[in-house]
Amino acid sequence: MTAAVIILTLLALIFGLALGYAAIRFRIEGNPVADEIEAILPQTQCAQCGYPGCRPYAEAIAAEEAEINRCPPGGEAGIKQLAELLGKDIIPLDADVGIEKALPEVAIIHEDVCIGCTKCIQACPVDAILGAAKQMHTVIATECTGCELCIPPCPVDCIDMIPTKIDITNWHWGKPIPITTISEIADTRGEEVA
């Protein structure tokens, strides 16, 4: 009887140590679903979704506290990817948060009007505005995410949003029109089907 108690105690101790080691060795930091959601989001940090950035919005989606349709910069393509990842239905973009833009935009500062107040620099979530107090400011276009958070604090309205230039990195082909029948193919070629 004593031997059985000792054996069971040793087994419990061994399994407890193994479980403790496994808990430390294989620990996953954060929520892996939120990480996958965040990878889909456009990382504009624009707060249009109602959350202060893409990570808090991803965590809210993962916790099922927010819908997948609150990201205007991600648009319809982002909603489709999130729906596929989470196994949800595709729903249209929530009109209350904004509209999807055809082309991404970047901020430009009219430097001859800028008074150097630094309010735009403080508002920029990605540090895309370069300048100093009482000095002219400029936007680093490659860093700007088009969040528009710099526009409201500007006291002289010297910031505008312009569409990004189309180049090889952001241009894409339109979707092809599917042709499904022989008669449709013949119609496109101007031929008659026998």
Looking at the fold, whether 22 and 40 belong to one and the same domain comes out as no
* 33 token code pair: 């679903």
- Does residue 186 register a pLDDT over 60? no
- Residue 192: predicted pLDDT: 57
Q: Tell me if 39 is assigned to some domain.
A: yes
Q: Tell me if 41 is assigned to some domain.
A: yes
φ/ψ (deg, to 5) at 117? -80, -15
- Residue 183: predicted pLDDT: 57
Q: Tell me if 114 is assigned to some domain.
A: no
Residue 48: is it exposed, middle or buried by C-beta count within 10 angstroms (0-12/13-18/19+)? buried
- Residue 178: predicted pLDDT: 60
Q: Tell me if 42 is assigned to some domain.
A: yes
Locus of tokens 């001859």: 112
Q: Which domain holds residue 6?
A: 1-26
Between β-strands 105-109 and 159-163, what pairing exists: parallel, antiparallel or unpaired? antiparallel
- Domain end marker among 41, 63, 86: 86
Please give the tally of structural domains in the chain: 2
Cα 163 from Cα 116, distance rounded (Å): 24
Question: How far is C-alpha 27 from the chain's CA centre?
Answer: 26
- Does residue 98 register a pLDDT over 90? no
**Is the pLDDT higher at 188 or at 158?**
158
Looking at the fold, whether 3 and 40 belong to one and the same domain comes out as no
**Confidence band for 6, pLDDT divided at 50, 70 and 90:** very high
- Residue 101: predicted pLDDT: 83
- Residue 102: predicted pLDDT: 77
Q: What is the CATH number of the domain that holds 55?
A: 1.10.15.40
pLDDT in tens, 62-93: 999 999 999 998 889 899 999 999 999 999 99
pLDDT in tens, 27-45: 877 788 999 999 999 988 8
- Does residue 103 register a pLDDT over 90? no
Angle (CA) 154-157-158 rounded to 5° is: 95
Q: Tell me if 7 is assigned to some domain.
A: yes
pLDDT in tens, 149-178: 999 999 999 999 998 877 776 666 665 656
> Of 140, 141, 159, whose CA–CA distance to 149 is shortest?
159
End-to-end CA distance of the chain: 94
Q: Tell me if 48 is assigned to some domain.
A: yes
Looking at the fold, whether 10 and 54 belong to one and the same domain comes out as no
- Does residue 120 register a pLDDT over 90? yes
pLDDT in tens, 128-143: 999 888 888 899 988 8
- Residue 174: predicted pLDDT: 60
Q: Tell me if 68 is assigned to some domain.
A: yes
- Residue 171: predicted pLDDT: 63
Looking at the fold, whether 15 and 46 belong to one and the same domain comes out as no
